Structure 1
Amino acid sequence: MRLIPLMLSGLLLATALPAVAQDQQAIEKAVTENPYRTDDQKARDQYRHPIETLEFFGITPGMTVAEPLPGWYTEILGDLVRDEGTYIALNLPPHLYDNADRRARTHAWRDGYIASKGELFGDKAFARFMLTKDNFAADNSVDAILAFRSLHGWVYSDVLDKALAEFYTVLKPGGVLGVVQHREDEDSPNTPADRRGYLKQSFVIEAIEAAGFVLEAQSEINANPKDTKDYEIGVWGCRRFCG
């Protein structure tokens, strides 16, 4: 059985496993005493609640953790699992991009990303492409995959089902697929085709369960009542409050 911890910013889906005290302390240290984080990153803690989010997902320092499309959480995760666990950076494969320059830069990303972060990841981390002939990791070898605000992009690229199938294969039985995603209102007439960055919670859960996952828990940790969801450019219009 693989589990979904689902969190929406709106939506947060995850295994709500109680963290032991030392794991809680390790997460707090990776957030508050992390020399790799910038002041701009720390300024968004009030919106993104990284300590509560990672505790909800049950992340511990000894895990093998994969992060698709590394971003705001990367410095936290890298610092957290560097000594006892393994960090895996994931990116979409170059062939999904129409732009030749983007394809070239994506190719270069795989070979240089880990080194570009200096000592953050240690010597066990690696970078891989998703959605290639060979999965990014061995079957049943990954403890957690954390998808932060990325599912809408996979929907727009029509690769969501393929990505979820790969995640299911590489996760250990009982492993965690943690999802944080901006949430569309269930009664909204908007659809993924509108490319607004929001997804309905029912749509996300249905897609993930169809891949074989079992919904373990949901959380409102990142729910934001200030997000009116009526911005002309979608979720990107509420940067200040939606994080």
Structure 2
Amino acid sequence: MIRTLLIVMLAAIPLSGCEKSDNNQTVTDVVAPKAPSYPARTAAERARDKYRHPAETLMYFEVQPDHTVVEIWPGSGWYSAVLGPYLKREGQLIAAHFSASTEVPFFQKTRRSYIDRFINNPDVYGKIQLTELMPPEKLSIASPGEADRVLTFRNVHNWMRNDQEQAVFDAAYLALRSGGIFGVVEHRAPPDFGREQMIETGYVTEAYVTQLAINAGFEPAGHSEINANPKDTRIHPHGVWSLPPTLRGGNTDLTYFESIGESDRMTLKFRKP
């Protein structure tokens, strides 16, 4: 009931700020379009909205339709399918994707798929600009001060595996204009998790993410429980990958993990002075 009331209240916000565009399309329209044939998002993507709350999350990060937004490591493009249509008329989406020269097969395949779907369909997703992030060699995700927003979704644990998390946060700071916002959504670890436990499980503490941002020069600008999941104990045999959508354990305790849903997540906002 509380979640339903929150969504109704957010949808009733006047068309201004992060909601307004020149054709009266709101971020809520992009997330849940009335037309079932709407081409930007698949039914499978929309089915995950109940875990990822994209409209509320983007409104919390104060994303406006005329912004230049950098999405770091968009992967297969779940959030790009929302951001692209929302920004295509007035703004600019910059996808800081995997390097074209990567030797990692998964990175190669994911980058090709992203280009096929998003870069090659500007009528649907706008003219998305593609940059590369492959630390430590490639860290220029946008021109210095170009971005109004830099966003990343469930990636911090990946950079920790190669000790590159601080370098990426520093790159986000450089890309943002003064007053710009860095928005981070990440699997949330219990406060007592150490670094190795974070890397092993994919869950990262809020304190660690916040310190990375402060080290880069950001000022904490708030946190939200939009993407919290109290059902998630965060202690699983395959870490966060035990849960949907990965379900690494296969049929073992499948019903249990499906009943939990996707992970408990922090939603943190940082501002560049």
* TM-score w.r.t. length of structure 2: 0.73
RMSD (CA atoms): 2.5
Match in the other structure for 1:7: none
2:198/2:204 contact within 8 Å kept = no
| Aligned with residue 141 of structure 1, among 142, 146, 153 | 146
1:57/1:176 contact within 8 Å kept = yes
Q: CA deviation at 1:213?
A: 0.5
Q: CA deviation at 1:46?
A: 1.0
Q: Quick one: distance in 2 between partners of 1:30 and 1:218?
A: 24
| Aligned with residue 62 of structure 2, among 58, 64, 67 | 58
Match in the other structure for 1:126: 129
Match in the other structure for 1:185: 190
Q: Quick one: distance in 2 between partners of 1:154 and 1:190?
A: 12
2:97/2:111 contact within 8 Å kept = no
Matching residue's letter, 2:47: A
Match in the other structure for 1:90: 96
Q: Quick one: distance in 2 between partners of 1:140 and 1:90?
A: 15
Match in the other structure for 1:26: 26
Q: CA deviation at 1:217?
A: 0.6
Q: CA deviation at 1:116?
A: 3.7
- SS of 2:26 mapped into structure 1: helix
Output aligned runs, 1:163-202, within 5 Å: 163-188=168-193, 191-192=196-197, 194-202=199-207
- SS of 2:124 mapped into structure 1: coil
The answer as to 2:218 corresponding to 1:213 is: yes
Match in the other structure for 2:40: 36
Q: Quick one: distance in 2 between partners of 1:106 and 1:43?
A: 21
The answer as to 2:96 corresponding to 1:76 is: no
Matching residue's letter, 2:69: V
- SS of 2:95 mapped into structure 1: strand
Deviations 1:152-189 (A, max 9, x none): 10111221111111111110001111000010001346
Q: Quick one: distance in 1 between partners of 2:154 and 2:29?
A: 24
Q: CA deviation at 1:69?
A: 1.6
Q: Can you give the 5+ residue segments of structure 1 that lack an aligned partner in the other structure? A: 1-18
- SS of 2:148 mapped into structure 1: strand
2:151/2:182 contact within 8 Å kept = yes
Q: CA deviation at 1:224?
A: 0.4
Match in the other structure for 1:242: 262
Larger radius of gyration: 2
Deviations 1:123-148 (A, max 9, x none): 3x211102445723211110111100
Q: Quick one: distance in 1 between partners of 2:89 and 2:109?
A: 30
Q: Quick one: distance in 1 between partners of 2:107 and 2:238?
A: 26
Identity of aligned residues (%): 32
Deviations 1:105-138 (A, max 9, x none): 5786797664344523323x21110244572321
Q: Which has the higher contact order (CA 8 A, sep 6+)?
A: 1
| Aligned with residue 225 of structure 1, among 211, 223, 230 | 230
Matching residue's letter, 2:98: L
Which has the larger displacement, 103-112 or 65-74?
103-112
Match in the other structure for 1:157: 162
Matching residue's letter, 1:77: L
1:139/1:170 contact within 8 Å kept = yes
Pairs aligned (count): 222
